[in-house]
Amino acid sequence: MHSSTVRNLLVRGMLAGLVAGLLAFAVAYAIGEPPVDDSIAVEEAQSAREAPHAGHGGAASEAAAEEEEAVSRSVQSTAGLGTGVLVYGVALGGIASLAFSFALGRIGRFSPRATAALTAAAAFTTVYLVPFLKYPATPPAVGNPDTIGKRTTLFFLMILLSVLLGIGAVIVGRRLAPRLGNWNATLVAGAGFIAAVAIAFVFLPANDDAVKAGFPAAVLWEFRVASLAIQAVLWAVFGIVFGTLAQRLLVPRTVDAPAEAERPTPAAA
């Protein structure tokens, strides 16, 4: 693939990531912010109950925390959230478009649109879904601050392991395809990926202390479902938009010949 084509795909991938980020922001604002507000309310209620036992030191700490809050909650939930989601979408769109450029024609005889859909599905599964199942998202102001370094390390380790296992599954599937056929090779490679992920889930350490004791389970569940929905919308929209743009770029429409050219030449008088 020529460098100019890769560059055009990169631009289209970032554009598709921007569109996906806009819709993901709408989902995040609609169903993601209410659980965040609830979790902050729970944290504030716990702090208020602990404040009388802390004496003047607790009041001073609370006043200092209020002074340190340079950005209001309304700005965080609108402009801050939108900026973060859009930058995230554009960055992932660019990376996914480069992965698409490498995968096109190497994973089977799929059209650009189908390859884009497969790339988006694989990225969502390996980069988010598998790590999420092992180390699910935690609402802000709820996680145990003593374990934030451990939680971050384990999450990124799970992402790296999931991506490597996904690449390995694709390689195994391609090598088995000549003997087993595409469908059977895909089933075998997928089963191997699931088995390897299950083994990783068993041997990697748990993260049971990620949430403070006594936090409402319903709020935690709503937050995690919202996080999963945001990622699903982001990657689904990216796959559709980028697939359409890549199809138009790589498979240009053929111009129909004039109708007169298709008619038989009349016999000479």
Q: Given pLDDT bands bounded at 50, 70 and 90, which one contains residue 141?
A: low
Q: Given pLDDT bands bounded at 50, 70 and 90, which one contains residue 17?
A: very high
Q: DSSP letters of 22-46? A: HHHHHHIIIIIHHHHHHHHHHHHHH
pLDDT of residue 1: 64
Structural domain boundaries of the chain? 1-51+74-142+214-250, 144-210
Q: Supply the pTM of this predicted model.
A: 0.79
Q: Given pLDDT bands bounded at 50, 70 and 90, which one contains residue 255?
A: very low
pLDDT of residue 256: 43
pLDDT of residue 77: 67
Q: Given pLDDT bands bounded at 50, 70 and 90, which one contains residue 3?
A: confident
pLDDT of residue 52: 59
CB of 105 closer than 8 Å to CB of 228: no
Q: Given pLDDT bands bounded at 50, 70 and 90, which one contains residue 239?
A: very high
Q: CA angle, 224 as apex, 155 and 80 as ends, to 5°?
A: 85
Give the residues across from 143 on adjacent strands: 211
**Spatial separation of the C-alpha atoms in residues 217 and 148, rounded to whole Å:** 20
pLDDT of residue 61: 44
pLDDT of residue 65: 45
Give the model confidence (pLDDT) of 65-74 as tens digits. Answer: 444 556 676 7
pLDDT of residue 261: 46
Give the model confidence (pLDDT) of 180-216 as tens digits. Answer: 888 888 899 999 999 999 999 999 888 766 677 777 7
Ramachandran bin of 214, using left for φ above 0, alpha for ψ from -120 to 50, beta for the remaining angles: left
Helix (H, G, I), strand (E, B) or coil at 143: strand
CB of 16 closer than 8 Å to CB of 238: yes
The more confident residue out of 253 and 177 is 177
Q: Which of the 8 DSSP states describes residue 94?
A: H
| Cα 254 from chain centroid (whole Å) | 35
pLDDT of residue 165: 94
Q: What is the dihedral of CA 33, 235, 160, 144, to 10 degrees?
A: 10
Check whether 8 has a pLDDT greater than 60: yes
- The residue written with tokens 């189908």 in the block is 114
pLDDT of residue 234: 95
Give the model confidence (pLDDT) of 103-112 as tens digits. Answer: 888 777 788 8
CB of 107 closer than 8 Å to CB of 31: no
pLDDT of residue 63: 42
